[in-house]
Structure 1
């Protein structure tokens, strides 16, 4: 436990489990007063648990009003919530097979919702002397894939939203950064991802293990702190090196192991 966030007020969305819950716990350990928010009220120790609807601007505005009435300031926003239900994933396919309502649902939660939360939080953050906004994007927002089209496009929107916020409000001491997250062993991922898929993903990592929610929480806590006071407008990969190499990396590694050398 540290005190580097002592006295600061942090909002974490999507805090009902996985990365959001781990981040809320980490920020609290670092001294922040944490509001853990989700569509359904989380039950996290050491946090103020709140429910609001990211697709409803009135619900967001009322949530921010409650935070300000209770704490009087907002210093940190972690835009972590995302639509990743199994029902949504099963319908989020390639473009030709993609229903427009699936696209709209992804955009409403993953891109429009974070924008609206920032819209209502930033004026209070500026009035309080500034703050840090950290957005959770995904490798799907930077690289193409054969499926999850709507999810990927919505996460790409979040990357540039972060840059626009950094550009527009940096002189008011608002920092905005986005973490580009790789595969993380959340409870949902553990339960729903076949082992064969986990193995395929792990083969493309440069580090020997897949990510955990705590790995992501560590980076959020850093970006929220004064240790990152000169970082804004950045898109930081937190993916075990998944996006740092040639697409042929895993196949080439297997080939070199077979021939007993690494000379091309």
Structure 2
């Protein structure tokens, strides 16, 4: 297979490409030879990321608008002549929404509907728009989900359930389009140390989550980018319909591992 992890000549769309994980992924794919479409609702920030890369364009994307999603795909194909990878990374993540996204009993219908409109409906439309092009290139889709889609929590019921829906969408696309040569996978990050997270999340809760990882510290955007770029490359040609959990091991162990560590080290009685 040679150096099958490279992406030489491939064209990739990264949605949410101006954010921490999206921009890290765009930079890594570009470093491995891909040509990039950096798509984000924050157009000027997307332009700044695209300007760093050798062959890249920025596209303004509003996942609540079907026409905006379809225009993104059309611009990618018009500019580069082909499409090989769609990384669905954009999601409704702003701090105000996160604070309001609690448990079901307290859930506002408008917040629920908007979360699903952006995260699920927007992702579906993007997948639908790229599939004819990916059949031609035998390309693939990588969706960003979350380890919260695989576990219960007392917060973020709308976000976590929307990401669970994307996992099932991932499997459905893999099953229905595999014989067309199209792969579809998902990456499930855990809590990832982005600038926004560091600013918005209470330090005691960050420390609590970090204590549940099986590494020394929380992951960073570049860790997630590596997982996405691997799945998008030919090195993963036999992987489809899967969820790669990139959460530092948080989802892999019994509850309360931090307390067990403390007990057996003699820190608690």
TM-score tier, shorter chain, comes to over 0.9
Provide runs of 4+ in structure 1 moved above 2 Å: none
Q: Contact 1:202–1:209 (CA<8 Å) still a contact in 2?
A: yes
In the alignment, which residue of structure 2 is the partner of 1:108? 117
Q: Distance in 2 between matches of 1:63 and 1:252?
A: 49
Distance between the aligned counterparts of 1:140 and 1:69, measured in 2? 37
- How big is each residue's C-alpha offset from its partner over 1:69-124, in whole Å with a ceiling of 9 and x where there is no partner? 11111101111001011111121111111100111111111111111001000111
Structure 1 match to 2:171: 163
State how far apart, in whole Å, the 2-side matches of 1:93 and 1:150 are. 8
The CA distance in 2 between the partners of 1:235 and 1:122, in whole Å, is 20
Separation of aligned partners in 2, 1:259 and 1:5 = 49
Alignment counterpart, residue 152 of structure 1, candidates 155, 160, 169 = 160
Kept in 1, the 8 Å contact 2:5–2:234? The answer is: no
Partner of 1:20: 22
SS in 1 for 2:193: coil
- Match for residue 48 of structure 1 among 53, 57, 63: 57
- SS in structure 2 opposite 1:243? helix
3-state SS of 1:83 partner = coil
Q: Do the aligned partners of 1:180 and 1:239 also contact (CA within 8 Å) in 2?
A: yes
The offset of 1:58, in angstroms, is: 1.3
What is the Cα deviation at residue 133 of structure 1?
A: 0.8
Q: How big is the shift at 1:3? A: 8.0
2:265 alignment partner, SS class: helix
| Structure 2 unpaired stretches of 5+ | none
What is the CA–CA distance in structure 2 between the aligned matches of 1:249 and 1:40, rounded to whole Å?
39
Question: Match for residue 120 of structure 1?
Answer: 129
CA deviation digits over 1:158-196, x for unaligned, max 9?
111100010010001111111111010111111111111
User: Which of 227, 231, 238 matches 1:230?
Assistant: 238
Do residues 140 (structure 1) and 148 (structure 2) align?
yes
Distance change (3 Å), C-alpha of 1:30 and 1:96: same
Could you tell me how far 1:63 is from its partner in structure 2?
Answer: 1.7
Check conservation: 1:78, 1:135, Cα contact below 8 A: yes
Q: Helix, strand or coil: the match of 1:258?
A: coil
TM-score (norm 1): 0.95
TM-score, normalised relative to structure 2: 0.93
Q: CA deviation at 1:248?
A: 2.6
| SS at 1:10 equivalent | strand
Q: CA RMSD in A?
A: 1.7
Structure 1 unaligned blocks of 5 or more: none
Secondary structure, counterpart of 2:177 in structure 1:
helix
Contact 1:18 1:186 survives alignment (8 Å): yes
Is the partner of 1:11 in helix, strand or coil? strand
Query: 2:267 and 2:226 mapped to 1: Cα distance?
Result: 40
For the residues of structure 1 that align with 2:254 and 2:42, how far apart are their CA atoms? 41
Give the equivalent residue in structure 2 for 1:34: 36
